[in-house]
Amino acid sequence: MPRPILATVDRAAIRHNIQHLRERSGARVWAVLKANAYGHGIERAYEGLRAADGFALLDLDEAQRVRDLGWRGPVLLLEGVFEPRDLELVSRLGLWHTVHCDEQIEMLAAHKTDQPQRVFLKLNSGMNRLGFAPHRYRSAYARLDALAQVDDITHMTHFSDSDGPRGIAHQMATFETAVEGLPGERSVSNSGATLRHAQAPAVRGDWVRPGIAVYGSSPDFPEHSAAHWGLLPTLTLSCEVLAVQSLQPGDTVGYGSTYTAQVAHRIGIVACGYADGYPRHAPGANPTADAPRTPVVVAGVRTHTVGRVSMDMICVDLSPLDAQGVAVGPGSAVVMFGASDAGSLPIDEVAHAAGTVSYELMCALAARVPTVAVG
């Protein structure tokens, strides 16, 4: 028997989330599927992802994979090409690509093709990662527009604070000034902007680019939950109890003895560790007054981890189950995050307790975890 741990990708939930984002924004939806569809697996998730109007991704390899799956619709390279020969594959696969620097314009100018390409011209409106500075944007547009290799130019930028108090107004103002009067479609919104700000037509644009919301997680947790935004969980990590231990007061748990039982109680040992992608920093020490605990659902009852996360195992407090008289033993179902018949626990709550974000938990799902797709 394989080790009792399983990841489940819910394609129907992905489909729901994409349709919901399209209805909410009123724009066409690029489902962002970089990092192998945020850890879900492009091939596994594809039947759900197909509900999108296009796929935005980073690697040419990922673009090839969605074409191999039969996708004939738009595919956008979010960072554009990295070297001149990438443009051959761009032409062959009919990809749209981002242009964020002069070198990419030069590569295009030197590229021989009889199929003019669709490009997304990226403005650095304040994130300061990729894109043309505002004062250089219009000359980059003019250069691109003059190339026979270019068919159509969409204006694009990316927000640093769509999910937080600083907001997007300052970057929107920079964007509006830079693109004023230029023809072309627009794409500015990630998940946070799509959910929080896309009532404004300028923010909605022609295309939104949600990633994390497609995968059923809230971009602005804990301010808002995924349920608040009408999103369904798409990734579930479940496992089983391997053993039960009875602790006496003073007994410690796991490496470094970071947890000490204050009273006699039972713990369960579950088949999930950091080598499966569970965050090693998820707190499990004896809680101080307001220290977070890491939630987990065992036999349908919410409890928390105790002690350090180790490579292959985590320990969980069984006191809430024992208090309710819920039977538990080897083989009892455990939900680390997600939703299943065995219970539900938003991934955002686990990520938050561990001091990270759901993006990282999704991308961390380890190759050794068997994965199935449903829906």
Report d(CA 331, CA 70) in Å as an integer.
Answer: 40
Q: Which residues contact 211 (CB under 8 A, 6 or more apart)?
A: 31, 32, 33, 34, 38, 190, 191, 359
Within positions 144 to 183, which residues make up the interface with ligand PLP, using CB under 6 A?
158
Report d(CA 178, CA 139) in Å as an integer.
Answer: 10
- Asked if residue 195 binds ligand PLP (CB under 6 A), the reply is no
Within positions 42 to 81, which residues make up the interface with ligand PLP, using CB under 6 A?
78
- Asked if residue 20 binds ligand PLP (CB under 6 A), the reply is no
Among 134, 137, 127, 115, residue whose Cα is nearest residue 160? 127
Name the one range near ligand PLP by CB under 6 A: 168-176, 203-211, 302-310, 361-369. 203-211
- Asked if residue 131 binds ligand PLP (CB under 6 A), the reply is no
| Least distance in angstroms from the C-beta of 38 to ligand PLP | 7
Site for ligand PLP (CB under 6 A): how many residues?
13
Q: Is 255 a catalytic residue?
A: yes
Name the one range near ligand PLP by CB under 6 A: 186-194, 237-245, 281-289, 333-341. 186-194
- Asked if residue 32 binds ligand PLP (CB under 6 A), the reply is yes
Instruction: Check 38, 137, 141, 255 and give the catalytic one.
Output: 255
Ranges of beta strands (E only) in 224-351 are 235-247, 252-253, 259-260, 265-270, 295-298, 301-306, 314-317, 333-340, 343-345
Of 129 and 281, CB closest to ligand PLP: 129
| Least distance in angstroms from the C-beta of 198 to ligand PLP | 12
Q: Is 34 a catalytic residue?
A: yes
| Least distance in angstroms from the C-beta of 215 to ligand PLP | 8
Residue matched to tokens 């020969």: 85
Report d(CA 275, CA 309) in Å as an integer.
Answer: 10
Report d(CA 189, CA 56) in Å as an integer.
Answer: 13
Q: For residue 278, what are its two tokens? A: 């569970």
Within positions 207 to 266, which residues make up the interface with ligand PLP, using CB under 6 A?
209-213, 219
Of 212 and 298, CB closest to ligand PLP: 212
Catalytic residues: 34, 255
* Chain residues in the site for ligand PLP (CB under 6 A): 32, 34, 78, 158, 190-192, 209-213, 219
